[in-house]
Amino acid sequence: MFGEELFGIKISNDMGSVTSWDVEGRRGGMISVGIGGGITGQGADLLIIDDPIKNRKEADSLTYRNMLWNEWQNTLSTRLQPGGRVILILTRWHEDDLAGRLLEHEPERWTVVSLPAICDSENDLLGRKIGEPLWPEYGFDEKWAEETKKSVGSRTWNALYQQRPTPPSGAIIHRSWFKYYKQAPQMDEYIQSWDFAFKDTNDGSFVVGQVWGRKGADKYLLDQVRAKLSFTESIRAIVSLTSKWPQAQAKLIEDRANGTAIINALRHQISGMLPVVPNGTKVERLNAVSPQFEAGNVYIPHPSIAPWVHDYVEELVAFPNAPSDDQVDATSQALRYLDRAGTKGTIKVDIF
């Protein structure tokens, strides 16, 4: 519409159709086809691929994703002229979609422009702070995000609105491994497990406190606190959870940064504060407890009684590619301890 006004060019009067036309007086034009459409024999200086996956059904179909990848390898990419450029525009329905495979096979060739509905990274392209919405002026604010996420579910929210799909099965922890309860039995043992923010700044880190119970070989996640808290608020949170769950005698706290300071501040006020010295990486620690999930020994509350479980599951199945890992850390810390009955004092959580 503005080609002639802005660039001094216009569409040729003898254009074939809206999906195929040339630029008047020049060797250039545009061809538009669907996935699988015929473009053999046509070269491209600019190749634009727009929404190659339309819905969840296509996204979850390995057959369709393989077809799309073959189309890219054998048809689309072969049409590029030397020095040609590609623009891929899509909703990240699936971590194994076209963008996912391209970033896996040739990450150095691509520049990613991702604008999530709610900022979840300190390196946001627009300079937003974590938790800041993308377009609040038009009603897409924090309240809208909370209501939409509740309506569509965490998996769809992460994919469609945050451009951060989580695996349908899971990376380390598989979705099918989760066991749910609506009424927990009486436990043999109760503990708290805490993952505190590394520093007392507003950097988007969550403080996570969990209550776990053990019944024989089975472990139950009974309660959870998850919020962005200052040092003072973190102290109030552990005092509050201790009042709510007095039977959870052991309180596992990672012995670093704010965790160390909180232990020192509450040691003579709350009993059972156990400093934990983690051993191994976060991935290694979760791998070490993954057999407990796979064997069906880990139970979590049903979403009908604990709506926060949706986010808990998504973080665990997405890890190590999740934007947050606070719930992962608190979980692996708790499950390792519950397999080490009778340990006292400072705990070194080994991974083997």
> pLDDT grade, residue 349 (50/70/90)?
low
The DSSP secondary structure of 309-321, one letter per residue, reads: HHHHHHHHHHTTS
- Rounded CA gap, 32 and 30, in Å? 7
Least confident of 10-19, 54-63, 256-265: 10-19
> pLDDT grade, residue 352 (50/70/90)?
very low
Q: What is the DSSP letter of 128?
A: P
The CATH number of the domain covering residues in 175-349: 3.30.420.280
Region 258-276: mean pLDDT is: 93
pLDDT at residue 17 is higher than 90: no
pLDDT for the residue 202? 52
- Rounded CA gap, 328 and 40, in Å? 49
Give, to the nearest 10 degrees, the angle between helix 309-318 and helix 326-338. Answer: 90
pLDDT for the residue 68? 96
> pLDDT grade, residue 15 (50/70/90)?
low
Give start-end residues of each CATH 3.30.420.280 domain in the chain: 175-349
Q: Give the residues across from 301 on adjacent strands.
A: 181
> In 225-351, which residue ranges form alpha helices assigned H by DSSP?
231-244, 257-266, 282-294, 309-318, 326-338
Integer CA distances (angstroms), 44 to 29, 41, 78, 80, 327, in order: 10, 10, 9, 5, 47
pLDDT at residue 288 is higher than 80: yes
pLDDT for the residue 29? 77
Please report, as a single letter, which amino acid is at residue 315: E
Q: Is the pTM of this model over 0.95?
A: no
pLDDT for the residue 327? 97
- pLDDT tens for 167-203 read 777 788 999 999 999 999 999 999 999 999 765 555 5
Please state, as a whole number, how many other Cβ atoms lie within 10 Å of the Cβ of residue 60.
14
Top pLDDT among 102 and 167 is at 102
Q: Is 219 helix (H, G, I), strand (E, B) or coil?
A: strand
Top pLDDT among 3 and 207 is at 207
pLDDT for the residue 26? 72
pLDDT at residue 338 is higher than 70: yes
- pLDDT tens for 44-81 read 999 999 999 999 889 989 899 999 999 999 999 998 99
> pLDDT grade, residue 351 (50/70/90)?
very low
> pLDDT grade, residue 156 (50/70/90)?
confident
Q: Is 95 helix (H, G, I), strand (E, B) or coil?
A: coil
pLDDT for the residue 19? 66
Smallest CA-to-CA distance from 200 within 232, 227, 166, 174 is with 232
- Rounded CA gap, 323 and 325, in Å? 7
Q: What is the DSSP letter of 340?
A: S
